[in-house]
Amino acid sequence: MSGQPVRPRRSRATPALRRLVAETRLSPAQLVLPMFVADGTGEPRPIASMPGVVQHTRDSLRKAADEAVRAGVGGLMLFGVPKPEDKDGSGSAGVDPAGILNRALADLKADLGDSTVLMADTCLDEFTDHGHCGVLGVDGSGRTVVDNDATLAQYTAMAVAQAAAGAHVVSPSGMMDGQVAAIRAALDEAGRDDVLVLAYAAKYASAFYGPFRDAVGSSLDGDRRAYQLDPANRREGLREARLDVAEGADFVMVKPAMSYLDILREVADSSPVPVFAYQISGEYSMIVAAAERGWIDGEAAALESVTSIVRAGADNVLTYFATELARRLR
């Protein structure tokens, strides 16, 4: 009959139809699980501000990693939490082959081999007694700052140690200028041109990192606004991503994910390499906290949130929901 409206609703009528025409599809292999491993603890320690997430022992890490891989998760991103007395001004425990992060990488490499992708956080903030992502120094005006180039020396040593421990991917997240080029050169010189670099290319100074700092026992007093990106700046994030690609990054990252979907879309539109996004601690914890109070359907919100990140352009998503979602998707 003429004059009838167009009826797009026809394709939404049943679950089977909705599956058939879905424009964005998630697979477990797109998901990366961030994990924390702590030195000097006899049992996993719950993180109060991140319900369901723990600081693992080496043994519990191995079990949880195996469960994630069996669920189909594509990769694991490992963060180390040293003993407080092992922190110092240069973050030397992060470079030490016998440090907690490198020992845990070796454990997982022995267990899992190449059946998953082992990623290591290549940053010093967990290991410094001041909590910053680099080595402190003094600038020309006498201010205490993070010394960019002194920090690069630590990052390169850390990346080579992580590669030796078993990391397939090293992940500089400190937003130091030139960090990707320095790490790529150091890995190549060490004969590890097989190890990839995931650059935290557009990492913003977000208010949503709070729970993560609990997770790693951060010693930070202050903020990281002098080196992480200003949340107001779009073009600067795109510039940082382009620079990291030019320096040799194999992958680039936008962090946070949910509150920076516009940045993610633009990076994805222009990037010649795969684009990752990190659904960070505060984004995770808001969903979990609201679900615990019965305000939202937690399972549905977790799936919707990660779908939105992929829809915005992410090829892979770091999320604390990774194992749970992988099981559901399979």
Tokens (6 digits) for 180? 């990707």
255 included as an active-site residue:
yes
109 included as an active-site residue:
no
Contact 172, 155 (CB under 8 A): yes
Strand partners, 136: 146
Would you please indicate which residues are annotated as catalytic (active-site) residues?
203, 255
